[in-house]
Amino acid sequence: MSNQWLSEMQEQKIEELLSKMTLDEKVGQMNQLSPSIVGGFDLPFPELIEMVTEGRISHEEFSKIMQNAEMDYQEDNIRAGRIGSFLMNNPKKSNELQRIAVEESRLGIPLIFGYDVIHGCRTVFPIPLAEACSWDEGIFEETARIAAREARSRNIHWTFAPMLDLSRDARWGRIAESPGEDPYLASLYSRAKVRGFQGKKLDAGDNLAVCLKHYVAYGAAESGQDYNTVSMAKSLLYNAYLPPFKAAVEEGAATVMAAFNDFNGVPCTVNEYLLREVLKEKCGFQGFVVSDANAIDDCIRHGIVADLEDASKKSCIAGMDMDMNSHAYSGYLKQQVEAGEVPEALLDDAVRRILRVKMALGLFKNPYSPEEKHTLYDVLPKEHVATALETAKRSIVLLKNENILPLKKGQKIALVGELADMSSEIVGSWSMGFNVEDCVSIHQGLLNAGADVSYAKACGVTSPFQPEELQSVVKDADIIVAVVGETISMSGEASSRADLSLPGEQEKLLEAALATGKPVVAVLMNGRPLTIPWVDQSVPAIVEAWQLGIQMGNAVAEVLLGSYNPSGKLCCTFPAMAGQCPRYYNHPSTGRPGAKSKFSSRYLDAPLEPLYPFGYGLSYTTYQYDNLTAEQAKDMIIAKVEVANTGDCPGEETVQLYVQDITASLVRPVKELKAFQKVSLQPGEKRIVEMKLPKSSLGFYDDDMNYLLENGEFNVYVGTNSKDCLMEKITVIF
């Protein structure tokens, strides 16, 4: 957060407040808690969690128990100024706690309420990985805008979003929460999310402070296993993993969350180089950093601190401003300052940053949320639902189509697969505020659209294939639509998978559907790229529909029935086999690029190529690219290409421009996305698409974070995806 948010007078007010604060009160600001559960059930809480995880009780039973549990909101500690923030979504209770903080604590500093508003609040939009496939900044901004409005009405001030971890390994469950594998697209996404959540003025009353997470390189967790270690060259950090964060800081992001992982041996939570040097000094970040949940405590298991006391000291020295739930700062920081182990100036810096965000949000002036607003979005406004539908449609990626889609008018559809009829599964991970009555399953969506559809489950995601159920609906059908994929709990946090094929017996379902001789469409509903080479070979039409939020069913129906022509492009590579992971298009050039020869960078037992490349996505029409030119004019590279709609329906194409630096002092990626442009073309229409690129965007960082612009040769590629491109070589002199 730059000081664009605060006036000099406000900064001065913060200094005055700071000068009045006791050490206890300073530590209090740095302490974030969740309401703790004190009773209401017969078992210890960890045992209860284990029971849900192991499936001994259902999620529904668990929720019931939780609703009856008694919560401890630490009112006395709030009164004593020992708490700065709560992680909660309970508007009425938040007001009550705020009243204690503002009216009964010595200095009356308001609390800041944070919550995970990740891809929507009451209105759930597509999972971020899906939304990023729209390649549409307007959409990125608008969905955040709506989420902010809804969340702020519920007394939430601060969202733990956007998640900006570049994700290049489909095994990592949290790829679902990310905008994919590319730094350029992720940076556009990150800027748009800051604009959407924070609005023009953070204190306007319907905005949220953002929290950029997880800082940093969490997506590079070794072998795609969650919470795993990360080792990488600093140049890779600066060129790939840092840019989305840097862009969002430039856009005015208020807060950052440190990642769980270690970075080159030092957990991000206690990483002074990352927090102070890179983020606060080099990127000029003026807001505050919060730890991830219990992450200060986790440093003990990392083996980098002796105990929680040591963890408290190391985190504060490293530049961690707020402790989420570890009880480390509240337990030890005061005595560490008194003992001279932690300079008080570090606490001042942290508290100043926290107060800045509270001030910028207008919490000193308007600490409470009007009660009449708490239920404002219980019935969703039409415009929010319309944006949910539009976003869902734009997020769908057509992966294959052998003249099957769109379905012909009047065709009788046999709809199969458990996921087709599960309205609670369409929202994806990290959806907490929605009402299941607002969710439209694919089955319901087809019925809403007036399709002639008969449904049978026939196969669960994990429960066995039932051939007789399939037969019961296919007899009279003209076409079979099989919805297959993953349940929500198979992606997101703590949900890495080593096998990325379709879970359970869903492939058997597809095989049996094909054996009927009727045309088959596979609709995928999943939170990550799946390895589906057999499906790609055998099933004539494949629609990647992800988990698209509350309007999923209506969106999928529009695509299947042809009232919407899909235009989504993959923001992540689909590997052919899990053994290819991490697989991403913009990997560094090797000395022996993968080829037919044995002595090239390849596997003996896997195809050379991934299944679908980054940027890939078909349409109901076709496009032809011709006559690429690339020229230099002053500080710009200008690329022009002819794009023609060669099919028989109107469509929107995303024209993509990639660059490869072929004579650099460091090994550079084989291709890097640098620009794209969307064009709408009528059948037979041809247009010259011009894309301008500042020459300065052709540079890169070295290991010391120097940005280098090196003269030399570059390949300029323009095409419909990262693989199928035209190419022109240019020599650039800076």
In whole angstroms, give the CA distance from residue 572 to residue 185.
11
Cβ-based neighbours of 286, under 8 Å, separated by 6 or more: 1, 2, 3, 353, 356
Query: Which two three-digit tokens encode residue 275?
Result: 């927090």
Give whichever of 160 and 700 is closer to ligand NOJ, judged by the CB atom. 160
Q: Which of 213, 276, 352, 394 binds ligand NOJ (CB under 6 A)?
A: 213
Give whichever of 25 and 298 is closer to ligand NOJ, judged by the CB atom. 298
Residues 255 and 357 sit within 8 Å (Cβ to Cβ): yes
- Would you put residue 185 in left (φ > 0), alpha (ψ -120 to 50) or beta? alpha
Which letter does DSSP use for residue 697 in this model? G
The values of phi and psi at residue 565, to 5°, are -95, 115
3-state secondary structure labels for all residues of 138-161: HHHHHHHHHHHHHHHHCCCCEECC
Query: Which two three-digit tokens encode residue 706?
Result: 């120097």
Give whichever of 227 and 546 is closer to ligand NOJ, judged by the CB atom. 227
Give whichever of 211 and 451 is closer to ligand NOJ, judged by the CB atom. 211
Least distance (Å) from ligand NOJ to the CB of residue 257? 6
User: Which residues in 595-624 contact ligand NOJ (CB under 6 A)?
Assistant: none
Least distance (Å) from ligand NOJ to the CB of residue 49? 14
With 0-12 / 13-18 / 19 or more C-beta atoms within 10 angstroms meaning exposed / middle / buried, residue 347 is buried
Give whichever of 160 and 332 is closer to ligand NOJ, judged by the CB atom. 160
Residues 387 and 146 sit within 8 Å (Cβ to Cβ): yes
CB environment 47-71: b (16+ within 10 A), e (fewer): ebeebeeeeeeeeeebeebeeebeb
Angle between helices 382-395 and 552-561 (to 10 degrees): 50
Give whichever of 494 and 688 is closer to ligand NOJ, judged by the CB atom. 494
> CB neighbours (10 Å) of residue 622?
16
The values of phi and psi at residue 671, to 5°, are -160, 145
Residue number with the shortest CB distance to ligand NOJ? 160
Provide the residue type at 56 as one letter.
Answer: R
User: Which residues in 492-511 contact ligand NOJ (CB under 6 A)?
Assistant: 493
Site map (CB under 6 A) of ligand NOJ, residues 76-115, x = contact? ----------------------------------------
Residue 297 interacts with ligand NOJ (CB under 6 A): yes or no: no
Spatial CA neighbour of 481 closest among 450, 440, 452, 448: 452
Give whichever of 293 and 718 is closer to ligand NOJ, judged by the CB atom. 293
DSSP, collapsed to helix, strand or coil, labels residue 30 as: coil
Least distance (Å) from ligand NOJ to the CB of residue 210? 12
Q: Among 136, 165, 292, 661, which one carries the catalytic annotation?
A: 292
In whole angstroms, give the CA distance from residue 671 to residue 655.
15
Cα 226 to its chain centre, rounded Å, is 15
Site map (CB under 6 A) of ligand NOJ, residues 475-494, x = contact? ------------------x-
Element (H, E) at 61: helix 59-68
Residue 292 interacts with ligand NOJ (CB under 6 A): yes or no: yes
Known catalytic residue at 438? no
Q: What is the CA radius of gyration of the chain?
A: 26
Least distance (Å) from ligand NOJ to the CB of residue 1? 19
Q: Where are the alpha helices (DSSP H) in 361-418?
A: 382-395
In whole angstroms, give the CA distance from residue 222 to residue 669.
20
Q: Which of 78, 84, 110, 116 binds ligand NOJ (CB under 6 A)?
A: 116
In whole angstroms, give the CA distance from residue 175 to residue 166.
8
Least distance (Å) from ligand NOJ to the CB of residue 163? 7
Least distance (Å) from ligand NOJ to the CB of residue 493? 5
Residues 578 and 532 sit within 8 Å (Cβ to Cβ): no
What is the total count of residues that contact ligand NOJ (CB under 6 A)? 6
In whole angstroms, give the CA distance from residue 695 to residue 145.
33
Cβ-based neighbours of 655, under 8 Å, separated by 6 or more: 625, 641, 643, 676, 677, 678, 679, 689, 691, 718, 719, 720
Angle between helices 308-318 and 328-338 (to 10 degrees): 80
Least distance (Å) from ligand NOJ to the CB of residue 161? 8
The Cα angle at residue 351 between residues 276 and 1, in degrees rounded to 5: 60
In whole angstroms, give the CA distance from residue 160 to residue 186.
17
Give whichever of 160 and 616 is closer to ligand NOJ, judged by the CB atom. 160
Give whichever of 178 and 721 is closer to ligand NOJ, judged by the CB atom. 178
Give whichever of 274 and 530 is closer to ligand NOJ, judged by the CB atom. 274
Least distance (Å) from ligand NOJ to the CB of residue 681? 40
Least distance (Å) from ligand NOJ to the CB of residue 148? 16
Give whichever of 140 and 160 is closer to ligand NOJ, judged by the CB atom. 160
Least distance (Å) from ligand NOJ to the CB of residue 152? 18
Give whichever of 118 and 541 is closer to ligand NOJ, judged by the CB atom. 118
Sign of CA dihedral 606, 607, 612, 615: positive
Least distance (Å) from ligand NOJ to the CB of residue 108? 27
* E strands in 51-93: 70-72, 85-87
Q: Which of 109, 293, 522, 643 binds ligand NOJ (CB under 6 A)?
A: 293
Element (H, E) at 414: strand 412-416
Least distance (Å) from ligand NOJ to the CB of residue 278? 20
Q: Which of 113, 160, 564, 585 binds ligand NOJ (CB under 6 A)?
A: 160
Task: Compute the half-sphere exposure of residue 430: CA atoms within 13 Å on the CB side of its CA.
Answer: 28
Catalytic residue numbers, as ranges: 292
Where along the sequence are the contacts to ligand NOJ (CB under 6 A)?
116, 160, 213, 292-293, 493
